[in-house]
A and B are shown apart, each in its own frame.
Chain A
Amino acid sequence: MNFQENYDVIVIGGGHAGVEASLAAARMGSKTLLMTINLNMVAFMPCNPSIGGSAKGIVVREIDALGGEMGRNIDKTYIQMKMLNTGKGPAVRALRAQADKDEYAASMKNTVSDQENLTLRQGMVEELILDDEKQKVIGVRTSTGTQYGAKAVIITTGTALRGEIIIGELKYSSGPNNSLSSIGLADNLREIGFEIGRFKTGTPPRVLASSIDYDKTEIQPGDEAPNHFSFMSSDEDYLKDQIPCWLTYTTENSHTILRDNLHRAPLFSGIVKGVGPRYCPSIEDKITRFADKPRHQLFLEPEGRNTEEVYIGGLSTSMPEDVQFDLVKSIPGLENAKMMRPGYAIEYDVVMPHQLRPTLETKLISGLFTAGQTNGTSGYEEAAGQGLVAGINAALKIQGKPEFILKRSEAYIGVMIDDLVTKGTLEPYRLLTSRAEYRLILRHDNADRRLTEIGRQVGLVSDAQWEHYQAKMAQFDREMKRLNSEKLKPLPDTQEKLGKLGFGPIKDALTGAEFLKRPEVNYDEVIDFIGQAPEVIDRTVIELIETEITYEGYIKKAMDQVDKMHRLEAKRIPKNMDWDKLDSIATEARQKFKKINPETLGQASRISGVNPADISILMVYLEGK
């Protein structure tokens, strides 16, 4: 084969999955090429201008702990930061940032460009080059005919894969935001034999900031207390002049406009064929499904510091443009707003994810990986998390090293990938905290504790990050030790102080840790009794201490479950398992097993439609092998 250049890893697509995949592979020593249709759209955010949120914010921290880039990049380019769910338990707190879209993309592009071992190039890949047996990928061919050799290829094409934009009666071939649609590659994947699905998503209109009457809306400021995604970012760098978002609502009039034009809505006229997400319905969908709701919340989110564009969160729509003009004007604060871009729906091809291994390598073609929206997810964070896992595994495979699979008990990323490859998905998949069975363990405050060591092992965590992490853990251990030895004694002045704070007197001496175990007691109150530590304790260490001690019982209960589960995850099913040989299992189970080809007993047990008896039989069979 005549290759222009040879690489270890080629990544197709420079979105949020693609940049993480290529950075990870390059940082692990693989000679990597990142191909993108448009060099001006690297790490582009085609929809909402925010990163993080419930569950997703924890994913960003996980990416950071593993040595990925998303957390660092948003910490450099946010315009507002907010910790969500502060009034709730520690397991569900999560950080969300409003991003400066242009800066985010520019900063990430610089990181990619500066990365050693990594080449960034514009070009459209139209075909995968396979070996003679058609079992292994060996390179790619672009629309201009150039051929590149590769030991592994990662497809991260997002909504560009046979993308089609729909606005009202209008439908045209396009990637996100009127970029080129990737059709050759989509055809090629079908030819190779992949099962391809068709999904749909959408985005709301954008309006001109100076045309908004903010007096009619409600301000939504960021937090004053510092917080960042990356464990390496410093509180001192916390942004003071944050830009607020604004809250407004749809009106009866908005709903009338939509209702009067429903016959023209592509969603209902039959133009939209793809499956849309339930969690991100368009406004026309909302007023139909929840017809009795008099109004819907809308968030006006600035897209950056140096742009006038404002994103109308909650108003995703593919109604005809003339309807969108009227719709925008029906909203308080937007009466005179100038629409800068209309909303649209986009349909795209998806590689149905049950065809993937937990490493995100396709079962069909060795060395071929897929990640991000291509696998049926939605969201920048979900994409980035998969990109990272695919990039790491591509590099490890080339180096002949063991695979990298995050367990459900280790990371939300592990939950997501296990869900995708075990259960598949029938609609765009979004991470929700309820998808995790161990959410008390998968917290934002312990993401580094869960994953830094793993990231270090695969070779992605830098020396600086590793040292920073070790110092933090050493401090955590020292302070835990102190809390477990320093005591509150039942002396008169202690009792009096307790009384003043509203606590009952104590009978016996108790350690600081035992006192902190009471849900109503916090770290500062304990310090009040046992005295300050001889060093300045980092606030993130304090948060970790409080959670670990207060919820110790629940955490332990969850960990017991995790330990048992791990013993079963360790029971591997042979690669070339002949499911027909297992004649005692139910027919439905056999069909499912054949389709998914689970790799462990644990994975097999999570397939829907498989019952305990089938798993029992499988267990006996494996033991008998």
Chain B
Amino acid sequence: MTLTQEFDTIAAISTPLGEGAIAIVRLSGTDALKIAQSVYKGKNLAQVASHTINYGHIFEEERLVDEVMVSVMRAPKTFTREDIVEINTHGGIAVTQEILQLLLRNGARLAEPGEFTKRAFLNGRIDLAQAESVMDLIRAKTDKAANIAVKQLDGSLSKMINNIRQEILESLAQVEVNIDYPEYDDVETMTSQMLLEKTAHFEQLLENLLSTAKRGKILREGLKTAIIGRPNVGKSSLLNQLLREEKAIVTDIAGTTRDVITEFANIGGVPLELVDTAGIRETDDLVEAIGIERSKKALAEADLVLLVLDASLELTDKDLELLELSKNANRIVLLNKTDLPEKLDINQISGDFIRISALKNENLSAVEEKINQIFFAGEIEAKDATVLSNARHISLVEEALKALKEANNGLALGLPVDLIQVDVTRCWQLLGEITGEAAPDELITQLFSQFCLGK
């Protein structure tokens, strides 16, 4: 382990998963405010008073993730005696996890089991008499976490990580042999160009692995899908068609503050979690304004947006407004009612669209294909694919990828290979943390087994 991690800003979900309507993601450390601010739009957290709670939104770049309340507590009057930020989300498990990942991507490290309590103790916040119980807590939590990690580390993932690590290791050994045995002529000198090819290849491998994380999440939890459109364009018929065609599961999530009905439809193997289906049913007959408001709300929570337009009519201002609102989302524009003569001017729609008839169940397979294309880059064969799912694993792979990108930047700047090695080594070490304790002197062992050296 690297002990310098002791000074990292740490993050974790601090409420039990899957229970309660509100979840809290907690950050503690010197950079807590900075990291929170980097994903938060609302007040300037650096300037708000300590021990206040602030309304705002979490964004991943331009994409809205959730509406949140953020508590800011500055050191030393906090649990850990460090700066603490707590993000209160009202999304479910998926959104909370997503916010955690976002924080990890922006510089936080996933807290080790019992680490908040440990910091509280080390910083003198907890009584010395409690030292023993803190030690026991760390042990107990570690054992539990280890069990979970082992369960989640499936054979194919560890095999894949090990393969990538071995490839990286061979490159590292080649760079090392060039340094430690400069006159050894049998081994090719690793040039910047060669290393760049390697790092680009490693980057691709890790990107692929990370994309399975996304895919894994979708396959597990479903694609949060919003059907939007102004009243009477056919949202209900589309919904009914989707639900009728596939086995519909209607779940009533109890205990949530908002009494939302969520229904699932299985489209070509991908579960769609249809958001606010009750709303669609209720509001289609209500005044337009409410329809738009609900659409906006649904839009904010969705992974996928199905925007329904009535092709038998010209586009209205409301249609254009919805087109504009959803332009940055993963959107599929559906021109409904192809059973009637088309009056809509397609030049007013930017991007792709699909003509369907929800009523007659026509061309829905094209929708299926399109979803597949957007989320799986066309490959639906996810059956046996290696899937990254554990939050710790994902953040490690993301860190490893970041290290590779730094290596690439260095190479682009023309820095010598042995400096770039620092970042590549870091990537290799981070991946090692996924599969467990690295063997001592792994690199040196590789060096002497790969090359024939000696005096």
Contact = CB atoms under 8 A, between A and B. Distances in A.
B287 interface: no
B112 A616 contact: yes
A619 B4 contact: no
> A282, A313, A520, A613: which has the most chain B beta carbons within 10 Å?
A613
B365 interface: no
A57 to B, nearest CB: 11
Contacts of B419: 89, 91, 440, 551, 554
A568 B122 contact: no
Interface string A436-470: 00011000000000000000000000000000000
A520 B192 CA distance: 14
A88 interface: yes
A432 B418 CA distance: 13
A54 B180 contact: yes
A313 B452 contact: no
B448 A279 contact: yes
A255 B139 CA distance: 56
Interface stretch (B18-26, B113-121, B148-156, B354-362): B113-121
A231 to B, nearest CB: 23
B418 A88 contact: yes
A584 B7 contact: no
Given A584-B139, A608-B440, A520 B414 contact: yes
Given A612-B112, A620-B134, A621-B131, A280 B455 contact: yes
B442 to A, nearest CB: 10
B455 A47 contact: yes
Given A314-B455, A316-B454, A88 B178 contact: yes
Contacts of B452: 281, 286, 289-290, 293, 296
B447 A434 contact: yes
Contacts of A602: 3
Interface string A269-299: 0000000001111100010011001001101
Interface string B98-117: 00000000000000111100
B444 A434 contact: yes
Nearest to B178: A88
A475 to B, nearest CB: 26
B455 A624 contact: no
A84 B181 CA distance: 9
Contacts of B4: 561, 564-565, 568
B136 interface: yes
B342 to A, nearest CB: 55
A319 B48 CA distance: 79
A561 B118 CA distance: 22
A46 interface: no
Interface in B154-186: 176, 178-186
A615 B455 contact: no
A433 B179 contact: yes
Nearest to A607: B440
B384 interface: no
B444 A432 contact: yes
B437 interface: yes
A567 B122 CA distance: 14
B440 A423 contact: yes
Contact of B135 (A204, A289, A440, A584): A584
A435 interface: yes
B180 A433 contact: yes
B416 interface: yes
A601 interface: yes
A621 B454 CA distance: 46
Contact of A624 (B6, B128, B182, B418): B128
A92 interface: yes
A504 interface: no
Interface string B432-454: 00000100100111011000111
Contacts of A293: 186, 452
B118 A620 contact: yes
B131 A89 contact: no
Interface residues of B, number: 52
B261 interface: no
B415 interface: yes
B142 A613 contact: yes
B185 A297 contact: yes
Interface string A545-576: 00000010010001001001101100000000
Given A54-B180, A568-B3, A611-B437, A89 B417 contact: yes
Contacts of B7: 564, 567
B262 to A, nearest CB: 39
Interface in A396-438: 423, 432-435
A297 B186 contact: yes
A519 B413 contact: yes
Contact of A434 (B118, B121, B443): B443
Interface in B117-151: 118, 121-122, 128, 131-132, 134-136, 138-139, 142
B416 A55 contact: no
A55 B452 CA distance: 19
A313 B1 CA distance: 39
A435 B445 CA distance: 12
A565 B139 contact: no
A616 B114 contact: yes
A615 B180 contact: no
A333 to B, nearest CB: 17
B3 A605 contact: yes
Nearest to A566: B4
A617 B179 contact: no
A44 to B, nearest CB: 17
Interface in A304-344: 313-314, 316
B437 A48 contact: no
A617 B176 contact: no
A609 interface: yes
B98 to A, nearest CB: 26
Nearest to A557: B422
A54 B182 contact: yes
Nearest to B182: A84
Interface in A204-257: 204, 220
A89 B418 contact: yes
A623 interface: yes
Nearest to B172: A434
Contacts of B113: 613
A18 B142 CA distance: 48
Contacts of B122: 619-620, 623
Contacts of B114: 616
The residue among A84, A561, A602 with the most chain B CB atoms within 10 A of its own CB is: A84
A440 B422 contact: yes
A74 B139 CA distance: 54
A623 B136 CA distance: 15
Contacts of B437: 608-609, 611
A532 interface: no
Contacts of B444: 432, 434-435
A519 B411 CA distance: 11
B6 A617 contact: no
B1 A91 contact: no
A85 interface: yes
Given A286-B454, A616-B114, A432 B139 contact: no
Contacts of A314: 454-455
Q: Which 8 residue pairs across A and B have the least CB separation, nearest first?
A: A624-B131, A89-B416, A564-B4, A290-B452, A613-B142, A278-B448, A584-B135, A612-B1
23 contacts: A54-B180, A54-B182, A85-B182, A89-B417, A89-B418, A278-B448, A286-B452, A290-B452, A293-B186, A297-B186, A299-B183, A313-B455, A316-B455, A423-B440, A433-B418, A439-B418, A564-B6, A584-B132, A608-B440, A613-B138, A613-B142, A617-B138, A619-B6
Given A432-B447, A584-B132, 8 more contacts: A88-B178, A88-B417, A91-B418, A293-B452, A299-B183, A554-B415, A564-B7, A620-B121
Interface of B: 1-7, 112-115, 118, 121-122, 128, 131-132, 134-136, 138-139, 142, 176, 178-186, 413-419, 422, 437, 440, 443-445, 447-448, 452-455
